Structure 1
């Protein structure tokens, strides 16, 4: 089985230019609903990565034109591009630097309730577990292996460009925000079609 090609990237100024053109791209934000609710590019559609993977064939039928995928930094958007490319969707691009680069450039963001980014949550949880297990190892020496396990998991996450802890944290009520309903997303895509 061959791996689908990576989507090309688009930087913030190029995306701004595309959005101002007559046939601008569809923006698909693959972050969690909670992250999306915190702030997103106006006009974007929230299709969390796990939902996108599960319904990529259905999305394919509604995304014939240019598509730009957005996440926090570009990693989840890259994973989404692979999933959609395997479903046969052409014209995929990933926003280089993600929503962070968009905000840093001073571009408009539809803001909602403030939440911590998923990546920041992973750093907090992983760091807390490592710190706690190192401190606990002064009393229970075998506790150091918990820290080693977290370190191994983070190393694997970096090498595989996946994060099991992030996937678990994304399912917490704090990160869910408003429920993402695939039929509502598909209806919105169909209604907004030129």
Structure 2
């Protein structure tokens, strides 16, 4: 699945959409600022959280981190685990904040 740009995510949120968003940053990073509605599941804990998110296997999931590299790893991992529609937020939370 193609990645998603911050502009596209902003546009979808403004249209009232509530996509499933996973913030793979550490809890302290999430507390400093986050995308509304994002669930914080740090990258290192993702393998043990698979049962909790199994119901999302066929839904679109947007993953993000600070700049996009940890979330790229999360996307690859989730795709390997059978999640069919995982998208990485290009540029991460930093880019999302800028608009």
TM-score by length of 2: 0.87
Greater Cα radius of gyration, structure 1 or 2:
1
Counterpart selection for 2:3 from 5, 9, 12: 9
Matched, 1:25 2:19: yes
Structure 1 runs, 4 residues or longer, greater than 4 Å off: none
Query: Secondary structure of the equivalent of 2:3?
Result: strand
For residues 1-194 of structure 1, the aligned pairs below 5 Å read 7-21=1-15, 24-105=18-99
CA RMSD of aligned residues (A): 1.8
Shift of 1:57: 4.2
Separation in 2 of the partners of 1:79 and 1:9? 13
Unaligned runs of at least 5 residues, structure 1: 1-6, 106-194
Q: Which has the higher contact order (CA 8 A, sep 6+)?
A: 2
Where is the helix percentage greater, Structure 1 or Structure 2?
Answer: 1
Unaligned runs of at least 5 residues, structure 2: none
Deviations 1:126-169 (A, max 9, x none): xxxxxxxxxxxxxxxxxxxxxxxxxxxxxxxxxxxxxxxxxxxx
Relative distance call for 1:69 and 1:18 in structure 2 (3 A) is same
User: How many residues were matched structurally?
Assistant: 99
TM-score by length of 1: 0.47
